[in-house]
Structure 1
Amino acid sequence: MNPRPHGRYADYQDPYEPAHAARPPNSSPGIPTQRSAVPPHHGDGGPYEYGPAPRRGGKVKRILISVLVILLVVAAGTYFWADSKLRKEVDLSKVIDRPAEGSGTNYLIVGSDSRKGMSAAQRKSLHTGGSAEAGQRTDSMMILHVGAAGPTLISLPRDSNVTIPRFRGSESGKTRPAMGANKLNAAYAFDGPQLLVRTVEYNTGLHIDHYAEIGFTGFANMVDAMGGVEMNLDKGFKDKWSGADFKAGKQTLDGAQALAFVRTRHAFATSDLERTKNQQKFLSTLANQAAAPGTVLNPFELYPVMGAGLDTLVVDKDMNPYLLGKMFFAMKDVNSGEGKSMNMPVSGSVGGNLQWDRPKVKQLVDQLKNDEPVTVTSER
């Protein structure tokens, strides 16, 4: 190895000496320099490299994935819990001579006067009368059509004059002869949900895809679980039969008051038609509040409301929580003005029963079957 030059040749660099052996600038000749512990940088051109920077994005990603997994598990658990509570007691496959399916989905929504499970004190406070074993009737019936043209909610007055056609008995399985002209709610009283579906389909020509029924107790409990339903009434009314006693204006109805509101008929001149309007208004408002983010995203609100409603909800065997949720959100849309609500068109009465306007009913059903915007009105 050649010795380093001294004196005037101290700055001389031997061309054959390796480049890495050159002295660092500003170093003194003959004094060894301290080699840095940091290795040379081989990255983006900076003077030193200290290893890879911490990956904060990876930690955030893991947290988000964990939250997503938890939400999926909770959602799946809620779905199966709700599905297990549904009373899937109505077998629509046993309904005979059914019309062809059309576009969209048709729900038959029924409010029955079932007093099952109610104590004498409850029957008195809710003004339901009768006994726990009293035969069931339908206090309200509605067809909810959900399709591309938006939802349409159609009330079927219980005093509608309809033909009860031949049908298959829900218990016996035997075919029964037609009963001729009757009130619509008589179909349910004779043989329950399956005959009601059969009668609605026969008199409208509209295929019913799903059935949902709630009794007095479930209805009142669901309203109470929500903390009441806020209504804005155009006018006040009283009815000693239902227990209704309302003033005009905005107010929150509890379960007993809500039941009185939807059952009242004696306070109105056109009893059944006015009552169906109130039922539509209340149910769509209830659905609007039940489907609000404050309820859906709050488990302390959601589970009590769902539990109160599902415990007494009777549905068809093909119903599931997804379809039920779809039904509720469609009713919410009706309330918010994105859908249409109406009574079945009526042209007059026969023996005290309401006679449907057949030409209008046919036009209405054709529009629903083809998923077209409904232009038919129910004004007499």
Structure 2
Amino acid sequence: MSRMRLTDPLHEPQNAVPGDRVRRAWALIVLTLLIPGAAQLVAGNKRFGRLALRVTLTVWALLLLTVIIALVNRGFLVSLLAHPVVLAILPFLLLALMAGWVVVWVNTFRLCRLAILPPRWRGPVAGVLVVLMVLSGGALGYGAYLLNVARGTLNDVFDAGRPPFDPVDGRYNIALLGGDAGAGRTGLRPDSMSVISIDATTGASAIISVPRSLQYARFPADSPMHKFYPDGFNNCDPDPLNCLLNAVYTDATDNHKDLYGAGKNAGAEATKDAISGTLGITIQAYALIDMDGFAQLIDAMGGVKMRVGAWVPISGGMLPGSDTRHVKPDGWIKPGNQTLNGFQAQWFARSRENVDDFARVQRQQCVQQAMLKQLDPTTVITKFEAIAKAGAHVVDTDIPQGQLGGFVDLTGKAKGQASVRMTVGPPDFPAGFSLADPDFDLIHQRVKALLAKATGDTKASAATAPSGTVSEDGTPLSAVAVSGGAQASGPLATAVQPKAADQLPPDFPLSTTRPDGDTITEAYLNSLYDAQDYEMLDILLAKNGNCAAL
């Protein structure tokens, strides 16, 4: 007959058999890991255990509530977590939880009574307990650090004082300005300008690119700049370049910096107004991103996946004493499916060797779509710190911090929907459309048609578009136009431009062969530069605006 165990291993381990002592120690460690305070409640100071357990249950309840809110209204949750007061408090709460859990672990270490454990179990029990203490406390400490990084980034980037704005005609319209104030440049002039228009209900988006070389941009009647340029931005004297759309930023910064009030970025605000008047829609906010910050953000994301249609030169520049850009590049981006790092994506978006600005605009749109598509929750969570720090390179934005939740919610809705896009110029406008003397009524009509198409109103899209510019399925058709807006002649005047890049099939053909059928190589392209055969380069690189986000 076996001897009955009359001792209580939990409270009197010294009287228990060695096996029960070991099992008791492991049980206390598991309880402290899963339910901090439970080990003290069953085997130690009950008052301390009840206090720790109340904290644990409160944290669990808050986590459960967070999950429920995330499932029901993710936008509200993001807005709550992005609130300056909440962001300031949360890191300290996590640090307090970390300190409390460490105290519980230390107390559990004492409760395990290592001295009465069999010698061969003392090391493993102590080692596991210390490792778990470091991992659990370290996780909370690192969480507090990441929250502090997020707080710094949000405070640096977004406008905490501006109240959230309402959609206009059911859409949010945000201007994206790509700034480049590098060496050899006077001040900052946006190199790229586009508008992302998002349906406030469905998240359906449209991207409208506006060439920086567009002249005589219109200002809405309520814009402070309208009284200076009532007939459009005609600041052409003494330099015609001062008439271009991207010169609005410099003009407002240098000459009208007080128009928009103290603390405002007059250049960005004026550019936002100019884009509003030009497109015939209300631009509610802007984000100005410098090119270095753009490259860092791409790297933080792990690159962007892209199908590149033709060879794209890296670097290059202007020939001395010439208005043509035919300097031999420093490298090349090859056609095909690939992942572009920050440096490559930066040049993919800005390169204009041997092509016009419209091919570059198409590539910029592809990069924007790739970022929207690939900046998913998993990427944000796993690479949060790098993305947050890169995000601080956004030079300026007037997007309210309190608006972030709603935009995150809309971004989630937009994930499963195709985005439509348009460029003010080729290939989306007919031959003869001139950036030097734009037809603003035509621009307004085309923008209205595009937004109707983005909303799913194909009938309104077809009815609004100018006659002869929409196919039977509502897809815009465009006659070939040339850079600078000059009238095309001969067969080109009536030809139809291929579909825009977002309408290309996922496996659209690549430009990888020469007219004679031989394969295009980097060495061959460089030899054409050495021979100054720019005509052949123009032919081979003509379709490098063809691209698609993967």
- Taking structure 2 as the reference length, the TM-score comes to 0.45
Are positions 1:137 and 2:189 aligned together?
Answer: yes
Contact 1:164–1:187 (CA<8 Å) still a contact in 2?
Answer: no
> How many angstroms apart in 1 are the aligned matches of 2:175 and 2:404?
16
Contact 2:160–2:402 (CA<8 Å) still a contact in 1?
Answer: no
> How many angstroms apart in 2 are the aligned matches of 1:212 and 1:317?
7
CA offsets, 1:49-84, max 9 Å, x none? xxxxxxxxxx99877425447888977534644431
Contact 1:137–1:185 (CA<8 Å) still a contact in 2?
Answer: yes
SS in 2 for 1:259: helix
> 2:373 is matched with which residue?
288
Residue type of the alignment partner of 1:226: M
Query: Match for 1:342 among 412, 422, 425?
Result: 422
Structure 1 residues 194 and 67: alpha-carbon distance in aligned structure 2, compared to 1, 3 A threshold:
closer
Structure 1 residues 197 and 66: alpha-carbon distance in aligned structure 2, compared to 1, 3 A threshold:
closer
> How many angstroms apart in 2 are the aligned matches of 1:321 and 1:372?
22
Contact 1:236–1:246 (CA<8 Å) still a contact in 2?
Answer: yes
> 1:223 is matched with which residue?
298
Contact 1:367–1:373 (CA<8 Å) still a contact in 2?
Answer: no
Contact 2:287–2:399 (CA<8 Å) still a contact in 1?
Answer: no
> 1:379 is matched with which residue?
478
> How many angstroms apart in 2 are the aligned matches of 1:356 and 1:332?
32
Q: Relative to structure 2, which stretch is displaced further, 175-184 or 100-109?
A: 175-184
In the TM superposition, what is the alpha-carbon distance from 1:153 to its structure 2 partner? 0.9
Q: Relative to structure 2, which stretch is displaced further, 177-186 or 232-241?
A: 177-186
> How many angstroms apart in 2 are the aligned matches of 1:62 and 1:315?
38
CA offsets, 1:310-334, max 9 Å, x none? 333411163546168549937974x
Structure 1 residues 168 and 64: alpha-carbon distance in aligned structure 2, compared to 1, 3 A threshold:
same
Are positions 1:106 and 2:176 aligned together?
Answer: no
> 1:155 is matched with which residue?
209
Are positions 1:306 and 2:302 aligned together?
Answer: no
Contact 2:421–2:450 (CA<8 Å) still a contact in 1?
Answer: no
Residue type of the alignment partner of 1:230: K
> 2:61 is matched with which residue?
65
> 1:355 is matched with which residue?
438
Query: Match for 2:224 among 165, 168, 184?
Result: 168
In the TM superposition, what is the alpha-carbon distance from 1:378 to its structure 2 partner? 6.5
In the TM superposition, what is the alpha-carbon distance from 1:307 to its structure 2 partner? 1.8
Where in structure 2 are the equivalents of 1:24-43 lying within 5 Å? none
CA offsets, 1:177-225, max 9 Å, x none? 4454432212123111121112112222211111111011211111122
> How many angstroms apart in 2 are the aligned matches of 1:372 and 1:228?
30
> 1:204 is matched with which residue?
279
How many residues align structurally? 292
SS in 1 for 2:154: helix
In the TM superposition, what is the alpha-carbon distance from 1:106 to its structure 2 partner? 0.7
> How many angstroms apart in 2 are the aligned matches of 1:244 and 1:379?
33
> How many angstroms apart in 1 are the aligned matches of 2:410 and 2:368?
9
- Whose helix proportion is higher, 1 or 2? 2
> 2:349 is matched with which residue?
262
Where in structure 2 are the equivalents of 1:240-259 lying within 5 Å? 240-241=316-317, 245-259=332-346
Structure 1 residues 293 and 103: alpha-carbon distance in aligned structure 2, compared to 1, 3 A threshold:
closer
Contact 2:279–2:440 (CA<8 Å) still a contact in 1?
Answer: no
Structure 1 residues 83 and 63: alpha-carbon distance in aligned structure 2, compared to 1, 3 A threshold:
closer
CA offsets, 1:251-291, max 9 Å, x none? 222222111110011232xx11111110010111122222x
Contact 1:273–1:343 (CA<8 Å) still a contact in 2?
Answer: yes
In the TM superposition, what is the alpha-carbon distance from 1:347 to its structure 2 partner? 3.6
Are positions 1:84 and 2:84 aligned together?
Answer: no
In the TM superposition, what is the alpha-carbon distance from 1:249 to its structure 2 partner? 1.1
Residue type of the alignment partner of 1:280: Q
> 1:365 is matched with which residue?
448
Residue type of the alignment partner of 1:340: V
> How many angstroms apart in 1 are the aligned matches of 2:377 and 2:399?
29
Contact 1:110–1:213 (CA<8 Å) still a contact in 2?
Answer: yes
In the TM superposition, what is the alpha-carbon distance from 1:227 to its structure 2 partner? 2.6
> 1:95 is matched with which residue?
none
Contact 2:179–2:290 (CA<8 Å) still a contact in 1?
Answer: yes
- Aligned residues with identical type, % of pairs: 21
> How many angstroms apart in 2 are the aligned matches of 1:371 and 1:259?
28
Query: Match for 1:237 among 284, 287, 312?
Result: 312
> How many angstroms apart in 2 are the aligned matches of 1:109 and 1:349?
27
Structure 2 unpaired stretches of 5+ = 1-52, 68-76, 88-146, 235-242, 253-266, 318-328, 466-475, 480-550
> How many angstroms apart in 2 are the aligned matches of 1:90 and 1:349?
46
